[in-house]
């Protein structure tokens, strides 16, 4: 790390402490990846204890009373630094301490243990379509989440839900999200209707005939990951119940799930997670294990996955590059294996039950539903036992469909069992940021579309490395977007993109 203060200074001591905190976070990342991929189910109880113990150790390192004294002393030292990254690093240290000190250590430990157990219970409940089996452990997680939210709210002067939002997207408030999501809930259903009518008048998209062997799907996914710059010397692709990107610094693990009947869903899932992985791999290496070297929050993180998946990988240009590789992987031939057909397939609008498989137009409505429900659960306005019915009613209102069972309804996501209340809004914020960043990148790289069609993806990734990934947490999300695009988050850019792609407007 460049220009770090000597260990004898308060700031240098803080840097060493946060390095240890970062190493513990990496260790937890690998343990969580192992739990989700290869850990035997019988090991769940022990793994929960391991995660709880390490979570407590990390928390105690962060909230040690000596940290507050060193933060105060370091604030005086920062004026000696010419590099503004140190100012940002200290700012992020102060924020991390403030947020962590709000929650008692025993509550952190209890929540980590409960979440690990609930995630394992969720796997069985989802497979068995048995919400009642999940209810006791999910209630424990919700109760602990309420306690954490209350503690954070009291310390930070926020509402409980805003205090949870702060963990995933600093500075975002329900006052910002409510009007945004109400606009989406009001306008998108009509846009979905119009897109479906337009789609019905066009030539049908045809799903290529399978089966599609999983080894061939994996090989194709790895080939496209490699083209995007994923480093398999410092990362892996595996299988899990729910796709995710995790692992550790310099060891990025992504997962997917496969269906031999349809390769398209898994492939886009892989490309989505590759966007996350590229961001993690591109964070400023000189600041590894320092707060300023971390990702900037989940909205920007999601912007990178959605830029790769939605803006790039579902484009005609990318499909022109990928098509010969798809045909070679599966021996494809005939009209279904045509760029225009694949484009129609990958931009097909459908009212579906599963969020992770949703198209770009209906996806925000899935997020509006979860945003409403988790607020109601947190406040106590919705009893957990009533979640399946509330879920189904929300799906009827927003998407005009009702899941036939809970496996396709409220059991589909791992987020609430793992304690991630307040996370879901960042998906839609990320989609909006992705459209805005991609528009700026397209303006900066006049040959972008031709490069993508030819599989020359390095210029795109290099631009993202310079303007997004390599910036770490140096700026706030609004300031980063303004630096890249000339303005803070502008939802109109995203809505214009949807109208152009799905309604043929603009």
Same domain, 488 and 351: yes
Can 273 be counted among the known catalytic residues?
Answer: yes
Round to whole Å and give the CA distance between 330 and 324.
10
Is the previous residue joined to 211 through a cis bond, with omega within 30 degrees of 0? Answer: yes
Q: Give me the catalytic one of 109, 119, 166, 273.
A: 273
How would residue 2 be classed by pLDDT, with cut points 50, 70 and 90?
very low
Give the range of the structural domain holding residue 332, as residue numbers without chain letter.
Answer: 175-205+295-503
Q: Which residues lie closer than 8 Å to 215 by C-beta, 6 or more apart?
A: none
| The two structure tokens encoding residue 214 | 């999983």
| pTM of the entire predicted model | 0.92
Q: For residue 225, tell me if it sits in a domain.
A: no
Round to whole Å and give the CA distance between 278 and 241.
22
Q: Return phi, psi of residue 139, to 5°.
A: -65, -40
Among candidates 234, 263, 95, which has minimal Cα distance to 171?
95
Q: For residue 25, tell me if it sits in a domain.
A: yes
| The two structure tokens encoding residue 41 | 């189910």
Same domain, 97 and 190: no
Average pLDDT of the segment spanning 126-143: 98
Same domain, 33 and 74: yes
Boundary-marking domain end, from 147, 169, 191: 169
Same domain, 165 and 184: no
- 39: alpha, beta or left, given left = phi > 0 and alpha = psi -120 to 50? beta
Same domain, 194 and 140: no
Same domain, 317 and 393: yes
Q: For residue 219, tell me if it sits in a domain.
A: no
Same domain, 64 and 198: no
Average pLDDT of the segment spanning 322-326: 97
How would residue 79 be classed by pLDDT, with cut points 50, 70 and 90?
low
Same domain, 321 and 455: yes
Mean pLDDT of the chain: 94
pLDDT at 3: 46
Among candidates 268, 255, 270, 262, which has minimal Cα distance to 212?
262
Q: Which residues lie closer than 8 Å to 389 by C-beta, 6 or more apart?
A: none
Q: Return phi, psi of residue 23, to 5°.
A: -65, -40
pLDDT for residue 84 is more than 90: no
Q: For residue 247, tell me if it sits in a domain.
A: no
pLDDT in tens, 410-421: 999 999 999 999
pLDDT for residue 407 is more than 90: yes
Round to whole Å and give the CA distance between 466 and 463.
5
Average pLDDT of the segment spanning 14-38: 96
- The terminus-to-terminus CA distance of the chain in angstroms comes to 47
How would residue 115 be classed by pLDDT, with cut points 50, 70 and 90?
very high
Average pLDDT of the segment spanning 47-71: 94
- State the Cα torsion 192-197-198-199 to the nearest 10°: 80
Q: For residue 492, tell me if it sits in a domain.
A: yes
Round to whole Å and give the CA distance between 13 and 69.
11
DSSP code string of 330-356 = HT--STTSSHHHHHHHHT-----S-GG
Same domain, 113 and 153: yes
pLDDT in tens, 331-354: 999 999 999 999 999 999 999 999
pLDDT at 331: 95
Boundary-marking domain end, from 125, 143, 169: 169
Count of CA atoms in the C-beta half-sphere (13 A) of 186:
6
Same domain, 371 and 427: yes
DSSP code string of 276-309 = HHHHHHTS-GGGTTSGGGS---HHHHHHHHHIII
- How many domains would you assign to the chain? 2
How would residue 357 be classed by pLDDT, with cut points 50, 70 and 90?
confident
Round to whole Å and give the CA distance between 142 and 160.
13
| The two structure tokens encoding residue 82 | 């010419």
- CATH code for the domain in which residue 186 is found: 1.10.1370.30
Percent of the chain topping pLDDT 90: 93
pLDDT for residue 6 is more than 50: no
Q: Kindly report the length of the chain.
A: 506
pLDDT for residue 28 is more than 60: yes
Other beta carbons within 10 Å of 505: 11
pLDDT in tens, 160-213: 999 999 999 999 999 999 999 999 999 999 999 999 999 999 989 999 999 999
Round to whole Å and give the CA distance between 112 and 106.
10
Same domain, 336 and 373: yes
Same domain, 110 and 199: no
Count of CA atoms in the C-beta half-sphere (13 A) of 414:
18
């Amino acid at each position: 790390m460049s220009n770090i203060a000597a260990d004898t200074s308060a700031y240098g001591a803080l840097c060493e402490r946060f390095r240890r905190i970062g190493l513990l976070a990496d260790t937890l990342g690998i343990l969580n990846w192992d739990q989700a991929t290869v850990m035997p189910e019988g090991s769940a109880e022990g793994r929960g204890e391991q995660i709880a113990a390490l979570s407590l150790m990390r928390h105690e390192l962060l909230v040690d009373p000596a940290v507050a004294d060193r933060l105060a002393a370091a604030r005086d030292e920062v004026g000696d630094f010419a590099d503004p990254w140190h100012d940002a690093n200290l700012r992020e240290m102060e924020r991390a301490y403030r947020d962590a000190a709000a929650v008692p250590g025993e509550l952190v430990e209890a929540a980590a243990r409960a979440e690990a157990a609930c995630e394992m219970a969720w796997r069985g409940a989802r497979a068995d379509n048995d919400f009642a089996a999940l209810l006791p452990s999910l209630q424990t997680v919700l109760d602990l989440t309420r306690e954490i939210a209350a503690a954070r709210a009291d310390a930070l002067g926020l509402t409980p839900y805003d205090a949870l939002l702060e963990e995933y997207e600093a500075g975002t408030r329900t006052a910002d999200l409510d009007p945004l999501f109400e606009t989406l809930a009001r306008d998108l259903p009509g846009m979905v209707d119009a897109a479906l009518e337009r789609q019905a008048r066009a030539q049908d998209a045809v799903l290529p005939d399978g089966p599609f062997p999983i080894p061939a799907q994996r090989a194709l996914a790895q080939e496209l990951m490699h083209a995007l710059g994923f480093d398999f010397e410092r990362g892996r692709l595996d299988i899990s119940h729910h796709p995710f990107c995790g692992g550790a610094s310099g060891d990025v693990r992504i997962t997917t799930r496969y269906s031999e009947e349809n390769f398209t869903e898994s492939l886009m899932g892989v490309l989505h997670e590759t966007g996350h992985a590229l961001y993690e791999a591109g964070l400023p290496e000189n600041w590894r294990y320092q707060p300023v070297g971390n990702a900037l929050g989940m909205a920007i993180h999601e912007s990178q996955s959605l830029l790769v998946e939605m803006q790039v990988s579902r484009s005609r240009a990318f499909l022109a590059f990928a098509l010969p590789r798809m045909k070679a992987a599966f021996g494809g031939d005939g009209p279904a294996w045509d760029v225009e057909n694949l484009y129609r397939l990958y931009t097909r609008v459908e009212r579906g039950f599963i969020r992770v498989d949703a198209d770009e137009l209906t996806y925000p409505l899935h997020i509006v539903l979860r945003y409403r429900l988790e607020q109601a659960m947190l406040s106590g306005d919705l009893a957990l036992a009533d979640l399946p019915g509330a879920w189904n009613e929300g799906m009827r209102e927003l998407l005009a469909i009702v899941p036939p069972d809970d496996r396709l309804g409220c059991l589909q996501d791992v987020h609430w069992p793992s304690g991630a209340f307040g996370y879901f809004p960042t998906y839609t914020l990320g989609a909006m940021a992705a459209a805005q960043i991609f528009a700026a990148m397209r303006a900066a790289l006049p040959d972008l579309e031709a490069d993508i069609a030819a599989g020359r993806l390095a210029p795109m990734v290099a631009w993202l490395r310079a303007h997004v990934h390599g910036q770490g947490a140096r700026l706030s999300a609004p300031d980063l977007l303004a630096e890249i695009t000339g303005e803070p988050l502008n939802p109109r850019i995203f809505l214009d993109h949807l109208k152009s792609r799905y309604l043929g407007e603009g």
